[in-house]
Chains A and B, each alone.
Chain A
């Protein structure tokens, strides 16, 4: 019997040093945001709760195969959901995995998907302050993301402007299930503000907008729904390209989070191919889509692709561009990637360091 032994990705290192671009902080209780929320919205939340475009106001439309979409070992002993304990986050993740900087991606309440725009905006403001007060101030390795309620463009711009220059924040966060494809012109003031603030835009899996998860209807099973995440990211990237967002905002930088990697070369080639045939429809694009993507789009690595061979993984990275890949763990979620074992290929020390640290350091302008 041959037993598959765990092999470390590449040469063993004396010490791990990583930048984790996707960490999900949670609230022990939702009252944690009370100090940052006007009484009106505290009351609103108590009375009406979350009001979204799907069947369950608080639960996800497709129940996960792991509760809270979380690692089973990530529940704090003192209670509360995974990701709510800074202490556990430290002992379980930040310390042993050598996280020097971790980017916070708060997902609670889908503020950008709230049908009541004022409520969504209030939530983003509160959750942004909450990230700083509850997390960043207590753990200097963590950084916050400027959550925005993108359907209210004006309020989104105001929130970006309010946080611009605050070193606690490294990026703007949007969930891809926007009401309309994110490249459409109604959202452009957000891109303008992002460029003005020199903040990249992170697009992390999530949100809900009432559109079926496929163009041909709703998925039945979680197994399907989980895979539609990758197609959703394809759609949003396609929109950003063909609407001309990258052409209009050459300084804009976008990072696609948790959307998978396997589709990037094929989608890029597909865009180029059909752009060359149909470019008369989109004369505002001056260059092939692949060029905009290569220059202005980055991708986080989790969930890592697991092709049949190591050579196929290396080939995939070659075709995406090694400098576009930002390591992420998705802690504390179930499909967590461990920095030691995620890359099932024999990487050189330099390649590992680039993926785990260097690319994100450059992307976020970290010291």
Chain B
């Protein structure tokens, strides 16, 4: 397809070669993690019956319509996203994806005990490696960490760093402290060192009410509030100087809703001009920092006209390199094959579908080169 031509081809073929930056494999139950636990923790699981706990996150109620697209449901009430075969059929094969990045959302990362959280995060990463990465060469994964236990988190990143199939560090947008706080910096330091973007995914550890006005009544309100959480935490990272300290760090906002970015950039830039003396390490407008360091997955797109929304964001942020293709599988964000709207030019489509992700995740490029050589 020539440059500038509108990429209106319907059907899954338009995503051929895509890099899907948000796939959710489900831990079917704690029993799958047992082989990766030491004797003490295996006994604790048994004595405390931890394996009977459903550690599905409150941010994603298992049966809520959002949590699984109807035609992506599994048989026999199996957890959505628990089957590799189904994931292959529904997205990896259907869209002829080149890579898919697994973001496992499981209770391990939010447990209050840092030790317990770290043990189950480690087991989760082991399980992802054995049951997913090793069984489909297209798959890559984020390193699941318990961010609130920084020492353990750092150890876990170090443990995975040599395995180039782990391409990102995964955190929830709402944790125990605002994401710019210096106590989290060892995580960012290592991420930068190893070429791992920090993927910040929607979701809360629910250490606090999800909004500054307290606890909403309904799940839909919690979910709507996620975009504001991204605004809050991006502002925190900018204000605290995370990107000044770690100039090579990339952050990927995953499942953030996207269109909040315009208002965020305007307000952040305006505020900065008036109060920057408070944070003198912030030497550039926040929108510039975002343009250089932050990327966004494109499901969901909070707009009625999604193509217009993307073009508007490109105009407002003055960049077409910010957006990364994602299906958010198995979450229900779109129907059929409308993972991206019609009305995007072929060159823009290519950027969103693959080029921007390759520029964001250095580990993908290395793997990509290796594959090309092999071919």
Q: Do A and B come into direct contact in the complex, CB within 8 Å?
A: yes
Query: Which residues of A lie under 8 Å from residue B309 when comparing CB positions?
Result: 269
Range of interface residues on B (Cβ < 8 Å): 35 or more
B72 to chain A, nearest CB (A): 14
Q: Mark B220-250, 1 if CB is under 8 A from A, else 0.
A: 1101110111011101100110000000000
Whole-angstrom distance between the alpha carbons of A271 and B205 in the complex? Answer: 22
CB pair B219–A266 under 8 Å, yes or no, is no
For chain B, residues 38 to 67, give those with C-beta under 8 angstroms from any C-beta of chain A: 64-66
CB pair B267–A230 under 8 Å, yes or no, is yes
Question: Is A235 in the interface zone, CB < 8 Å from B?
Answer: yes
A139 to chain B, nearest CB (A): 30
CB pair A232–B211 under 8 Å, yes or no, is yes
Question: Is B36 in the interface zone, CB < 8 Å from A?
Answer: no
Query: Which residues of B lie under 8 Å from residue A230 when comparing CB positions?
Result: 231, 263, 267
Stretch at the interface among B21-29, B96-104, B173-181, B339-347: B173-181
Query: Which residues of B lie under 8 Å from residue A265 when comparing CB positions?
Result: 259
B216's contact among A178, A238, A263, A272, by CB below 8 Å, is which?
Answer: A238
Query: Which residues of B lie under 8 Å from residue A242 when comparing CB positions?
Result: 216-218, 220-221, 224
**A65-B208 contact, Cβ under 8 Å, with A214-B233, A227-B231, A232-B213:** no
CB pair A223–B279 under 8 Å, yes or no, is yes
CB pair B64–A235 under 8 Å, yes or no, is no
Question: Is A40 in the interface zone, CB < 8 Å from B?
Answer: no
Stretch at the interface among B82-90, B132-140, B269-277, B362-370: B269-277
Question: Is A270 in the interface zone, CB < 8 Å from B?
Answer: yes
Query: Which residues of A lie under 8 Å from residue B240 when comparing CB positions?
Result: 220-221
B297 to chain A, nearest CB (A): 15
For chain A, residues 198 to 234, give those with C-beta under 8 angstroms from any C-beta of chain B: 209, 211-224, 226-228, 230-232, 234
Range of interface residues on A (Cβ < 8 Å): 35 or more
For chain B, residues 278 to 299, give those with C-beta under 8 angstroms from any C-beta of chain A: 278-279, 282
Whole-angstrom distance between the alpha carbons of A328 and B260 in the complex? Answer: 24
Query: Which residues of B lie under 8 Å from residue A214 when comparing CB positions?
Result: 174, 178, 208, 212, 229, 232-233, 236
Question: Is B199 in the interface zone, CB < 8 Å from A?
Answer: no
A262's contact among B176, B178, B180, B262, by CB below 8 Å, is which?
Answer: B262
For chain A, residues 174 to 196, give those with C-beta under 8 angstroms from any C-beta of chain B: 176-184
Question: Is B318 in the interface zone, CB < 8 Å from A?
Answer: yes
- Whose C-beta in chain B lies nearest to the C-beta of A65? B275
CB pair A227–B267 under 8 Å, yes or no, is yes
Query: Which residues of B lie under 8 Å from residue A264 when comparing CB positions?
Result: 263
CB pair A227–B213 under 8 Å, yes or no, is no
Question: Is A306 in the interface zone, CB < 8 Å from B?
Answer: yes
Whole-angstrom distance between the alpha carbons of A217 and B240 in the complex? Answer: 14
- Whose C-beta in chain B lies nearest to the C-beta of A227? B235
CB pair B204–A215 under 8 Å, yes or no, is yes
Whole-angstrom distance between the alpha carbons of A299 and B227 in the complex? Answer: 20
Whole-angstrom distance between the alpha carbons of A222 and B264 in the complex? Answer: 16
CB pair A211–B233 under 8 Å, yes or no, is no
B220's contact among A183, A228, A274, by CB below 8 Å, is which?
Answer: A274
Question: Is A275 in the interface zone, CB < 8 Å from B?
Answer: yes
Whole-angstrom distance between the alpha carbons of A271 and B268 in the complex? Answer: 23
B208's contact among A177, A216, A227, by CB below 8 Å, is which?
Answer: A216
Stretch at the interface among A103-111, A160-168, A276-284: A276-284
CB pair B180–A220 under 8 Å, yes or no, is yes
Whole-angstrom distance between the alpha carbons of A184 and B315 in the complex? Answer: 38
**A228-B232 contact, Cβ under 8 Å, with A242-B216, A242-B221:** yes
CB pair A223–B210 under 8 Å, yes or no, is no
Query: Which residues of B lie under 8 Å from residue A234 when comparing CB positions?
Result: 225, 228
A56 to chain B, nearest CB (A): 18
A307's contact among B65, B210, B212, B266, by CB below 8 Å, is which?
Answer: B266
A187 to chain B, nearest CB (A): 11
CB pair B209–A211 under 8 Å, yes or no, is yes
Residues of A with Cβ closer than 8 Å to B? 65, 176-184, 209, 211-224, 226-228, 230-232, 234-236, 238-239, 242-243, 260-267, 269-275, 277-278, 280-282, 303, 305-308, 312, 315, 334-335
CB<8 Å pairs between A and B, sample of 17: A209-B214, A215-B210, A216-B229, A220-B180, A221-B278, A222-B278, A224-B236, A227-B235, A232-B212, A242-B217, A243-B217, A260-B263, A261-B263, A277-B65, A278-B66, A278-B220, A278-B223
